Every structure is written in structure tokens, then in C-alpha cells.
Amino acid sequence: MVQATLSSNWVRMTTRVLTMSLLAFAIFGPITNMLLWAVAEVWYFPYKLPLEYGFSFWERVFRPEGNATEALFSSIWIALLTVVVSLAIAIPAGYALARGKMPFRYLIMLLFLLPQAFPAVAVHMNVARIFYGLDLTGTVMGVVLVHASQGLVFAVWIATAAFAAVDGELEAAARNMGAGRWRTFIDVTLPLALPGIMASAIFVFLISMDEFTGTYFVGAPDVVTLPMLLFTSSMEGNYQIASISSLILLVPSVGFMLFIERFLKADVLAKVGS
């Protein structure tokens, strides 16, 4: 009996350790590979590890005339504009969806999901065609609009949750003190919803930083973002440049995780999409 419990404990322990290790490998394996490539100077088959280490590729990426720096800055610029465009729609839409007694509320929220619902390539090819007629292909604005169309569903859903989590009685108290609707929104509603709005802004920023298909169809070859550079350099077998670009793309994602963990309360997260 004791023997049996011991052995079953042992089996449970082993499976747990194995699962954990597999999971860790699945998560950290590719990242380790990427880290190695980022600092490898010379590495070819059949060697398991790089032959020479160094930072010369980093220098190349961050060289002022290097196209990586340019791609990084255009990525950040596009991402910031995408955030502005998305929030300009998400804040009023989120407030209206959270507070107003709107008919077809769910339908409207699902509407923002539509760009995600169809195959990305098909959607973006047609977007590119329409944008061509509007002289938007190859422009930063065109890329921003494509990115915003993808980020909007999250921006609106998260903003709606953030506004819904603000107790209506807090707004009522401001009105009672003599504040009009607009003043109440600025003084009470917006500051209280701000963590959620910030989260949606960061989320949209991340989506824009990572976006590839839409940028490719609408922006190429005039607008080059980091993911596009990453794509071309891996196609050319230039794994160092690709790895360094990926590492740069990793920074905002990690920052977002930390932000969510630190500032976003469970009551906001629970209301996302409802």
C-alpha cells in the first residue's frame, strides 16, 4: 500500500517534471536559438554552436545609414499613429457601448471583429486594391489604416470593458456636484478608465509593430517596417539581422505584460468582450 502510493507519487512527479521541461523547451528553445543567432558572427552546419561571437551585426543594424534603424523608426511611427487613430474611435465607441442602452450592442461589437474573421491575405489584397484607387498604397497613412482596422476590435473591446468597470454612481456624484456630461467624463470617467485605455493603446501598438500581411500588400515597397525587414532578411538567410529585429520586437511585448500585471484590475479584464 505504502509502496503503491510512493510509486504513484513518483510517477506523478516525473510526468510533472517532463511536462514542465517540454513546455520550457517549447517556449525557451526558439528564444535561445534567436539569442544565439543575435550574437553569432560565424555559424554554419554542422556545428551545434556558433563558431565566433560578437556584436558586429548589432552595429550594422543600428548604423544610422542602415535600413534596420529606418525600419525601426517607421515601425514605431506607424504604431504610434495607429494608436492615435484607434483610440480616437475606441474611446467614444467604448464609452457609448458601455453606457448607452444601444440596440444591437453585441452586433456592433462583433462588427469590429469582421476584419479578423476572413483570411488575412484575401482581405488585405482587396484592401490594397481599394487603397490603390484612393492613392493610399505605399503611404504611411494607408498602412496606419490597415493596422487600425486590425487593432480596433481589441481597442474597442478593452475600452468598453474599462468604461463598464467605472461605477455609474461616481459619475452621478460629479453631475450632482454641478459638472456637466463632458466635464464629468474628463474629470471622473476618463481618469478611472485610463488603465484600461492604456492597455488597449499598448495592445494596438503591439499589433501594429507585429503586423506583416497588410503592410506587405499596402505599404511595400515604399513603407518598410521591422517585420518586413525581418521577413526579407530571413528570406536572404541573414539570420543575425532577423534575430536582432525579433529581439527588438520582443521589448514592447514584455513591457505590455508587465503593465497588465501591474495596473489592470481583474474587474476590467473580466468585462472584456461582454
Partner 1 sequence: MVGVGIEIEKLCVGYDKNRVLHDIDLEINSSEFVALLGSSGCGKTTLLKSLSGFIKPMSGQIRVNGSDVAQLPPEQRNMAMVFQSYALWPHMTVRQNVGYGLKLRGMSKEQINCKVDELLVLLGLADFGDRKVPNLSGGQRQRVALGRALAVDSPILLLDEPLSNLDARIRLSMRHEIRSLQQRMGLTAVHVTHDREEAMVMADRIVILNAGHIAQVGTPLEVYEQPKSNFVATFMGAENEIALNVERANGTLSISEQEAVKAASLSVSNEIGDGGVNWQATAAGSVRGRFRSSAAHLLADGTVPEGHLALAGRVTQLSYPGGVFRYEIESAGQLYMIDDPCRYAVGDAVTICVPAGGLHLYSEAA
Q: Which stretches of the chain bind partner 1, using CB under 8 A?
A: 167, 169-170, 172-180, 183, 187-188, 191-192
Q: How far is the CB of 188 from partner 1 (least distance, A)?
A: 6
For partner 1, the closer of residues 96 and 179 by Cβ is: 179
Query: From CA 227, how far away is CA 245, in angstroms rounded?
Result: 8
Q: CA-based angle 213:218:220, to the nearest 5?
A: 85
For partner 1, the closer of residues 170 and 257 by Cβ is: 170
Query: From CA 233, how far away is CA 224, in angstroms rounded?
Result: 12
For partner 1, the closer of residues 78 and 193 by Cβ is: 193
Q: How far is the CB of 201 from partner 1 (least distance, A)?
A: 18
Q: Report helix, strand and coil shares of the chain as percent, to nearest 5.
A: 80, 0, 20
Q: How far is the CB of 91 from partner 1 (least distance, A)?
A: 17
Query: From CA 45, how far away is CA 161, in angstroms rounded?
Result: 51
For partner 1, the closer of residues 94 and 195 by Cβ is: 195
Q: How far is the CB of 184 from partner 1 (least distance, A)?
A: 8
Number of H helices, E strands in the chain: 14, 2
For partner 1, the closer of residues 137 and 184 by Cβ is: 184
Peptide bond into 221 cis (omega under 30): yes
Q: How far is the CB of 192 from partner 1 (least distance, A)?
A: 6
